[in-house]
Amino acid sequence: MRIPVFAANWKMHKTGLEAVAWIREFAVATKNLSAADAEVIIAPPFTAIAAAVEATRGATLAVAGQNLHFERQGAFTGEVSAALLKAAGADLVIIGHSERRRIFGETDESVQRKVTAAHTAGLVPIVCVGETLDERERGETLAVLDRQLKAGLDGCSGDQIAALILAYEPVWAIGTGKNATATEAGEAHAHLRRRLREWFGGTHADRCRILYGGSVKPENIKELIGLEDVDGALVGGASLESSTFAAIVSVSATL
Ligand code: 13P
C-alpha cells in the first residue's frame, strides 16, 4: 500500500511572504485531511525555502528544493548544493525536471550525479522523466523513459529506490492544459514500474511512488490517481492557488 504524494512545484513564483500565506490558507482548506490519506510537498524557489520551512513547522507539509548542484561546495556562483538545501530545512529535492533539461542543458549524467548528491546529503530525490511530443510521435516514448530511468538511477540501492519519488512528466503536457489520457499515463507508469522491478527487485519497486505531472487540475486528478501505478501528482500551474491545490489533494480522502 503506497501513500499518495502530492507535490506543488511553484517554479519561479512566490516570495517568502507569499509562501507563508499559501501555507496558512492550505492548512485551513485541508484541515479534515489526515496524514494517512496523503503526503504533501511544496517546492518553493530557493529564496522562499527558509520561510516555508518555518511556516510548515508542526504541519505535515514537507519542503523540497527545485534543483541542486551535485558538488558539495565550492566556486560555483549561483548554485545551491544538497547540503545547503538540507541545512535550510528541505527534506526533498526535484531533479531532472524537463525545464532544467530543456532550458538549462541538464543531461542524464548530471541527473545521476544530482541523485547521488541528494542521497549523500539525506535528501529524498523526486526524479523527473518524460518524453517530448516529437519523441512520442516517433514512437520512442518507452525507449526515452528507459534511457532516462536507467542513467538517472544508476548506482541507487534497492532501499534508495523504495524511498525516492519518481515523476512521469510528458513534456508536451506541461503548462499546456493538455494532460496525458488515462491510457497514455497508465502505459507509461506501468512501464516505469516494470523496469524498476526488473532492475531493483519487486519489493523495492513496489514501494516507490510514481507521480504523474503535466496539466493536473481538480477536474482530471480523479481519473489519473485511479490508475494502478499512479501514486500522486506533481503539479505546476494549479498549485499556485492554495484552494486549487487543496482540491487536488482532497481526492486522496476518497481513495
Ligand atoms: P503544469 O502542472 O503547470 O503543467 O506543470 C507541471 C510540472 O512541470 C510540474 O513539475
- Per residue in 83-126, pLDDT tens? 999 999 999 999 999 999 999 999 999 999 999 999 999 999 99
Average pLDDT across the chain, whole number = 97
10, 94, 165, 169, best to mutate for ligand 1 pocket (most atoms within 8 Å of CB): 169
- Is the C-beta atom of 237 inside 6 A of ligand 1? yes
Q: Per-residue pLDDT for 1 more than 90?
A: no
To test the ligand 1 pocket, which listed residue (210, 215, 245, 249) has its Cβ within 8 A of the most ligand atoms? 215
Ligand 1 atom with the smallest distance to the CA of 174 is 4
Q: For ligand 1, what atom is nearest to the CA of residue 237? A: 3
Task: Give the pLDDT of residue 255.
Answer: 78
- Tell me how far apart the alpha carbons of residues 233 and 217 are, in angstroms, rounded to a whole number: 10
The rounded distance, in Å, linking the Cα atoms of 114 and 69 is 7
User: What is the average per-residue pLDDT within 49-56?
Assistant: 98
Is the pLDDT at 149 greater than 90, yes or no?
yes
Q: So what's the pLDDT on residue 228?
A: 96
Q: How far apart are CA 72 and CA 75, in angstroms?
A: 10
Of all protein residues, the one whose alpha carbon is nearest to atom 5 of ligand 1 is 236
Please name the residue that has the C-alpha cell 551535485. 70
Q: Is there an atom of ligand 1 within 6 Å of 9 CB?
A: yes
What pTM was computed for the model?
0.97
CA of 74 to the centre of ligand 1 (A): 31
41 lines ligand 1 (CB under 6 A): no
- 225-237: burial string, b at 16+ Cβ within 10 Å, e else: bebebbbbbbbbb
Q: Is 152 in the pocket of ligand 1 (CB under 6 A)?
A: no
* Residue 237 scores a pLDDT above 90: yes
Task: Give the residue numbers annotated as catalytic, written as ranges.
Answer: 97, 169
Residues sharing a CB contact under 8 Å with residue 173, sequence separation 6 or more, in sequence order: 179, 180, 213, 214, 215
Which band of pLDDT confidence, cut at 50, 70 and 90, is reported for residue 36?
confident
Q: Which of 216, 220, 221, 241 to mutate to test the pocket of ligand 1 (most atoms within 8 A of CB)?
A: 216
Q: Is the distance from CB of 43 to CB of 10 less than 8 angstroms?
A: yes
Distance (angstroms) between ligand 1 centre and the Cα of 144 equals: 19
CA of 56 to the centre of ligand 1 (A): 23
Beta bridge partners of 40: 6, 61
Give residue 143 CA to ligand 1 midpoint distance, Å. 22
Confidence of residue 48 (pLDDT cuts 50, 70, 90): very high
**pLDDT beyond 90 at 25:** yes
What is the chain's length? 255
Specify the residue with its C-alpha closest to ligand 1, atom 2. Answer: 236
DSSP 83: H
